[in-house]
Amino acid sequence: MYPAKIQEYVIGLFERRNDGVFVQKATIEECEWTPELNECHNNVDFWCKAHPEYKPVRGWLFFALGYEDEHVLFLLHSVMLTPENSFVDITPTRAVDSYPFIVADESDDEFFAKDKYLNKGNLVHVYK
């Protein structure tokens, strides 16, 4: 399904699934700009460029699907590290549930290079 290096990366994400954290949602109300739905990377980059005290954090949302299926999904996502060292997510969502965020711990170039392996924004791991 994936080249060996990407398969190893996905297995590593699966092994780190319990390291995921639920990121607090935040609303931007102090300016004319508003974050856009499904534009997490652009939203975070725009805000962090205008407010350098915030730092972009790249990672993956973990969708366990209740472990009812034989696979799990990892969705590319960006959040911000605040000056107080907490994560916040400024991107609006239609999701009803929250999902754990696993920090990528790699450069932006390495992170975004995985785009070509995504299926609807996700990396898939078959664990059964």
Residue 128: per-residue pLDDT: 64
How far is 16 from 59, CA to CA, in rounded Å?
A: 12
How far is 82 from 74, CA to CA, in rounded Å?
A: 24
Q: With contact defined as beta carbons under 8 Å apart, do 17 and 75 qualify?
A: no
How far is 56 from 80, CA to CA, in rounded Å?
A: 5
Residue with tokens 């350098």: 52
Residue 15: per-residue pLDDT: 94
Q: With contact defined as beta carbons under 8 Å apart, do 122 and 74 qualify?
A: yes
Residue 68: per-residue pLDDT: 63
pLDDT mean for each 10 residues of the chain (128 residues):
93 95 89 91 96 97 76 94 97 92 97 93 84
Residue 105: per-residue pLDDT: 92
Structural domain that includes position 9: 4-126
Q: How many domains, the chain?
A: 1
Residue 4: per-residue pLDDT: 95
Residue 101: per-residue pLDDT: 98
How far is 126 from 104, CA to CA, in rounded Å?
A: 20
How far is 51 from 1, CA to CA, in rounded Å?
A: 40
The pairing of strands 24-25 and 87-89 is parallel
